[in-house]
Structure 1
Amino acid sequence: MSGERHILILGGTTEARRLAALLDADPGLRVTSSLAGRVAEPRLPAGQVRIGGFGGPEGLARWLREQHVDALIDATHPFADTISSNAAKAAAEVHVPLLAVRRPGWVAGPGDDWRTVDSLDAAARALPPLGERVFLTTGRMGLGAFAHLEGMWFLARSVDAPLPPVPPRMEVLLARGPFTVEGERELLRRHRIDVLVTKDSGAAATAAKLVAAREAGIPVVVVRRPPLPEGVRSAGSVAEAAEWARETAARLPDAP
């Protein structure tokens, strides 16, 4: 293999930052991480960084061509289904190898009281019988799904402030994980939370709330993650993704 191989990582997650650090240390690879720009002060990864959207699958395909990208890794949040769909379409159009990195989802254990649903709208429909004081940990986007629940009180935690529409009775807690079980216990107690709503992000950094909810006997409404686009290969760990990137780069023919 002659010259550097260009790897584009669609990032914004802990896995994406760890992967960028691993691959950027490889002298045969040039790594660019793309961040959506939705977080005001993102944690920047190693290597080159670009911030902002591409303009749909067509814009991403054009960028892959112009920047001579050799392999594309979708290491976005498990619920960033629009970005994942765009990545699959763009990679297929320009014939660039694509891998999705998806951390394992959470699994309910003894003592957990989980109600699994397919969307935020379904989560809102499930809430009224479960409690009146809700801890929302679904991020700042999509809180409009709960805006009609005027008789309920919400504590919404996110890295940046939510955008309207939002529930009329809501307190916002700006915080970034990782969170501790002790801290989550105190939060549930202090705000008298009686139901938790979360997405199945699968991150260990935010799993403490599930332990605290189990201990407190609080029901949890869990939103399932969307499936990957059909035909997209996935890796369940950073190490597996790094191995795929190196092997893919080694198999590519030399540029003429």
Structure 2
Amino acid sequence: MESRKDVKILIMGGTKDGIEISKRLKKMGFFTITTTKTDYGSKLVEKYSDVAISRESTDKTLKDIIKEYNISVLIDATHPFAVNASKRAIDVSKECNIPYIRYERPHRRYNDAIYTKDFEEASKVALNISKKNILYVGGIKNLETVVKVIGKERLITRVLPTSVPIALKLLPSKNVIGMEGIFSKELNKYILLDYNCDVLITKDSGDSGGLNEKVLGAKEANAKVIIVERPKLDYPLFFYSIEDLLGYVETLFSEAKQKPIVE
């Protein structure tokens, strides 16, 4: 019988959830390899994983990594909006004949929020209901789409400090806030008030993405919240609870027998 350290588990995602899953699995005795989208994400996770791989700094494909480390199971803990990464993970896990497990952040519906299918629709709705400025906190990837609809003058954005140079190509510096973290209800409230915003555009990133604090902060600032809904994807196996996911892995490898990859 092989030890748990011989069981190699690949975790996709440098998210807060991915870091917690890797940390817990490592504590349980498994060997963890975590992939992240950026070098910055890799730096955050390397303390909690046996191996941290930044996709920004490697030409290796997901399949290459699975074969190199003889991965026994793939856990997809990428962001809820990283649909292409999840689709690729599902396909590759089937091809390599290893279990695929999705960790999906729990999400809730807010009665006072407006839900839209994408950021273009969210921007159009915001323009229709806003009489002041509009705060966008949905990530750098979709900022250009939002700017094209709303324009530069009334749009305020909060992005990661590493994304500020990109944001400055789209908006004047007075409209760009560079901050990192999950922010409190109070901070979200005062940013909305200080920048004279009556609408907040965000996405359904769940509690671990700070959505609840954004919604509560907006409510206290008397600002309307527009939330872009998560893309729909048919995951073969998923858990909303990290505890349940870990329990499943525990059962899957209760005898710590490593499953070989089918070439």
TM over 0.5: yes
- Which letter maps to 2:103? V
- Name the residue aligned to 2:67: 65
- Name the residue aligned to 2:218: 213
CA shift, 1:30, in A, is 0.6
Identity over the aligned pairs, expressed in percent? 22
Contact kept, 8 Å, 1:71 with 1:249, in 2: the verdict is no
CA shift, 1:178, in A, is 2.3
**Alpha-carbon distance in structure 1 between the residues aligned to 2:181 and 2:106:** 18
CA shift, 1:70, in A, is 0.1
Is residue 49 of structure 1 aligned with residue 52 of structure 2?
Answer: yes
**Alpha-carbon distance in structure 2 between the residues aligned to 1:122 and 1:169:** 25
Contact kept, 8 Å, 2:203 with 2:227, in 1: the verdict is yes
CA root-mean-square deviation: 2.5
Which of 95, 99, 102 in structure 1 is aligned with 2:101?
Answer: 99
- Name the residue aligned to 2:127: 128
In the superposition, the TM-score normalised over structure 2's length comes to 0.85
- Which letter maps to 1:150? G
**Alpha-carbon distance in structure 2 between the residues aligned to 1:7 and 1:55:** 20
Structure 2 portions without partners, runs of 5+:
none
Is residue 143 of structure 1 aligned with residue 143 of structure 2?
Answer: yes
Structure 1 portions without partners, runs of 5+:
none
Cα deviation per residue 1:91-125 (whole Å; 9 max; x = unaligned)?
Answer: 1111110111111113214xx2x211111122122
- Name the residue aligned to 1:225: 230
1:172-211 equivalences under 5 Å are 172-204=176-208, 206=210, 207-211=212-216
Name whichever structure is richer in helix by fraction: 2
Query: Which piece of structure 1 moves more, 196-205 or 35-44?
Result: 35-44
Segments of 4+ in structure 1 off by > 4 A? 38-42, 53-56, 167-170, 251-256
**Alpha-carbon distance in structure 2 between the residues aligned to 1:231 and 1:76:** 13
Seen in structure 2, the aligned counterparts of structure 1 residues 11 and 204 have a Cα distance that, compared at 3 Å, is closer
**Alpha-carbon distance in structure 2 between the residues aligned to 1:204 and 1:253:** 33
Is residue 245 of structure 1 aligned with residue 249 of structure 2?
Answer: yes
Contact kept, 8 Å, 2:102 with 2:235, in 1: the verdict is no
